[in-house]
A and B are shown apart, each in its own frame.
Chain A
Amino acid sequence: MEWAMQVDKQIRTETGAEPETGAETGPRGPGCSLRHFACEQNLLSRPDGSASFLQGDTSVLAGVYGPAEVKVSKEIFNKATLEVLLRPKIGLPGVAEKSREWLIRNTCEAVVLGALHPRTSITVVLQVISDAGSLLACCLNAACMALVDAGVPMRALFCGVTCALDADGNLVLDPTAKQEKEARAVLTFALDSVEQKLLMSTTKGLYSNAELQQCLAAAQATSQHIFRFYRESLQRRYSKT
């Protein structure tokens, strides 16, 4: 608990120096633990909702179709069928993509109010534009913004945060591809906006129980900044109308 507060303070001092007002602000600042964030919604004309999300050099484009017609074989009589498709930058989706798709799908399922649109399909298509670390977290953020843009009813927002632990046990938030490679363990969490509760977690590498708690506390503190960024981004979108 003590550690959690410490992390919180550390992030605040690093990121909350001054609120930025530029067109592409993000939770960043001098010596910030998070990379530069940017988000744009409603940039594709054909899907019902779309968003592109940038975290440093990692970029993902998301499109949402729904509530749309569903194949009879996939129809669920009391809720919407949720599908997530993750397209890699080059080549065909493989086992790694399928695994990520499943993680994202389960996260979306937890927040989308599918019971309001039974016998329909909600499809999220994610296209990786460039991968420079923390890809799954970026995919989760892009999926959330696209779902909000499409007007799919949700009980809360969600965000993805990746933490990396290096050999000395130092914690790096939103790691780059190089940091991820050198890390002893990489942990990705999905958190909801209402109670900052854990929706999904996936980990790779060796870590202790205490380190897991540290990372989770850090992710929870960071999620506040990401949700604040979401709000600013959506307010900009609605300021035009």
Chain B
Amino acid sequence: MAEAATLAAESLAGGKARAARTVLGQVVLPGEELLLPEQEDAEGPGGAGGRPLRLSPGVRSRVRVVCGPGLRRCGDRLLVTKCGRLRHKEPSGGGGGVYWVDSQQKRYVPVKGDHVIGIVTAKSGDIFKVDVGGSEPASLSYLAFEGATKRNRPNVQVGDLIYGQFVVANKDMEPEMVCIDSCGRANGMGVIGQDGLLFKVTLGLIRKLLAPDCEIIQEVGKLYPLEIVFGMNGRIWVKAKTIQQTLILANILEACEHMTTDQRKQIFARLADT
């Protein structure tokens, strides 16, 4: 780790771009430039000396690479714009896959297709204004609920919690939510019922909890019977049989962020005993 740190500092100081492959999982800082794999042998460290012979040196293979959050294209390189750990997802087909920066931020920026928990702040005519924690409230049509028609309005009051999905989310426009999927079914979305507890966590923790192989959720599920909703905007709604159990669950989930697997296992074991 210490070695990596000095190396990284050197490269930052020297202004040399590092190869994206070599810094996977490491912390990258805004302003750093990353080289994509196909450029490594051409420009990368030590590339000039021991470069293998290529059959067609003039033709550079074009690989399709997707820039995720925290990265931007800068000429033929990637420019880091956020601090965090660099991640990479291998492509299922050909191409270079997806690169992104996994950062620990609290402010949500709407993304199309994200499932979020919002709070209804106003009813005006045929749309609801929903606070999702972004820079402006999202709009939600009263027709975007399962079974809603012009006659049959959904029962939504100001202050209700909504679990929905973004259909329009771009930087220049007001985001728009719906509570139905493309087939017109609710599919779990809609107004969240009475009781329960809503709390906020960092966006990084939500992503960790929603990862397909997350152990925390399975362990929590074994502890008490519960209902839980995760919003990609950093909000979690949880409800258990009693208020005490609800509070315990909320506290565990909040604390999970900075616990190691062993620490977490200990706490779960202690709770299971009581």
Residues of B within 8 A of A149 (CB): 83, 105
- Binary per-residue interface labels of chain A (186-224) against chain B in the complex, 1 for a CB within 8 Å, 0 otherwise: 000000111100000000000000000000000000001
Q: Contact at B82–A231, with CB atoms within 8 Å? A: no
Q: Contact at B31–A156, with CB atoms within 8 Å? A: yes
> Which A145-183 residues have C-beta < 8 A from chain B?
148-151, 153-157
Residues of A within 8 A of B107 (CB): 48, 66-68, 150-151
Interface assignment of A235: CB less than 8 Å from any CB of chain B: yes
Q: Contact at A119–B82, with CB atoms within 8 Å? A: no
Known A49-B105, A151-B83, A231-B8; contact A117-B171, beta-carbon cutoff 8 A: yes
Interface assignment of B269: CB less than 8 Å from any CB of chain A: no
- Binary per-residue interface labels of chain A (223-241) against chain B in the complex, 1 for a CB within 8 Å, 0 otherwise: 0100110111011011111
User: Who on chain A is nearest to B83 by CB?
Assistant: A148
User: Who on chain B is nearest to A195 by CB?
Assistant: B15
> Which B229-263 residues have C-beta < 8 A from chain A?
257-258
- Shortest Cβ gap from B130 to chain A (Å): 14
Q: Contact at A150–B29, with CB atoms within 8 Å? A: no
In the bound complex, CA of A18 to CA of B1 (Å)? 16
Q: Contact at A230–B79, with CB atoms within 8 Å? A: no
In the bound complex, CA of A232 to CA of B82 (Å)? 16
In the bound complex, CA of A167 to CA of B257 (Å)? 54
Interface assignment of B106: CB less than 8 Å from any CB of chain A: yes
- Binary per-residue interface labels of chain B (100-114) against chain A in the complex, 1 for a CB within 8 Å, 0 otherwise: 000111110100000
Known A118-B171, A240-B258; contact A231-B105, beta-carbon cutoff 8 A: no
- Shortest Cβ gap from A169 to chain B (Å): 28
Q: Contact at B103–A151, with CB atoms within 8 Å? A: yes
Q: Contact at A227–B13, with CB atoms within 8 Å? A: yes
Q: Identify A148's interface contact among B29, B72, B79, CB under 8 A.
A: B29
In the bound complex, CA of A154 to CA of B71 (Å)? 10
Interface assignment of B84: CB less than 8 Å from any CB of chain A: yes
Q: Contact at B81–A234, with CB atoms within 8 Å? A: no
Q: Contact at B135–A227, with CB atoms within 8 Å? A: no
Interface assignment of B136: CB less than 8 Å from any CB of chain A: yes
Known A228-B9, A228-B12, A241-B204; contact A49-B106, beta-carbon cutoff 8 A: yes
In the bound complex, CA of A197 to CA of B60 (Å)? 33
Residues of B within 8 A of A113 (CB): 72, 81
Residues of A within 8 A of B79 (CB): 155
Residues of B within 8 A of A240 (CB): 258
Residues of B within 8 A of A66 (CB): 107, 135
Q: Contact at A234–B83, with CB atoms within 8 Å? A: yes
In the bound complex, CA of A227 to CA of B8 (Å)? 11
Interface assignment of B22: CB less than 8 Å from any CB of chain A: no
Known A231-B9, A235-B5, A238-B84; contact A67-B29, beta-carbon cutoff 8 A: no
In the bound complex, CA of A216 to CA of B98 (Å)? 41
Residues of B within 8 A of A153 (CB): 30, 70, 72, 81-82
Residues of B within 8 A of A195 (CB): 15
Interface assignment of B2: CB less than 8 Å from any CB of chain A: yes
User: Who on chain A is nearest to B203 by CB?
Assistant: A151
Q: Contact at B30–A48, with CB atoms within 8 Å? A: no
Interface assignment of B88: CB less than 8 Å from any CB of chain A: no
Q: Contact at A224–B13, with CB atoms within 8 Å? A: yes
Interface assignment of B198: CB less than 8 Å from any CB of chain A: no
In the bound complex, CA of A149 to CA of B106 (Å)? 9
Q: Identify A230's interface contact among B15, B29, B72, B134, CB under 8 A.
A: B29
Interface assignment of A116: CB less than 8 Å from any CB of chain B: yes
In the bound complex, CA of A111 to CA of B6 (Å)? 25
Q: Contact at B105–A241, with CB atoms within 8 Å? A: no
Can you report 28 residue pairs joining A to B where beta carbons are below 8 Å apart? A19-B2, A19-B6, A66-B107, A67-B135, A69-B136, A111-B30, A113-B72, A117-B135, A148-B29, A148-B30, A150-B106, A150-B107, A151-B82, A151-B83, A151-B106, A153-B30, A153-B70, A193-B29, A193-B30, A224-B13, A227-B12, A230-B29, A231-B12, A232-B9, A235-B5, A238-B104, A241-B104, A241-B257
Q: Which residues of B contact A (CB under 8 A)?
A: 1-2, 5-6, 8-9, 12-13, 15, 27, 29-31, 70, 72, 79, 81-85, 103-107, 109, 134-136, 171-172, 204, 257-258
Those 9 A-B pairs whose CB atoms lie nearest each other, nearest first: A151-B105, A156-B31, A153-B81, A120-B135, A48-B107, A154-B30, A228-B9, A148-B83, A67-B135
Q: Which residues of A contact B (CB under 8 A)?
A: 19, 21, 42, 48-49, 66-70, 111, 113, 116-121, 148-151, 153-157, 192-195, 224, 227-228, 230-232, 234-235, 237-241
| Extra 11 A-B pairs, beta carbons < 8 Å, given A149-B83, A155-B30 | A67-B135, A120-B136, A148-B82, A151-B70, A155-B31, A157-B31, A231-B27, A231-B29, A234-B83, A238-B83, A239-B1
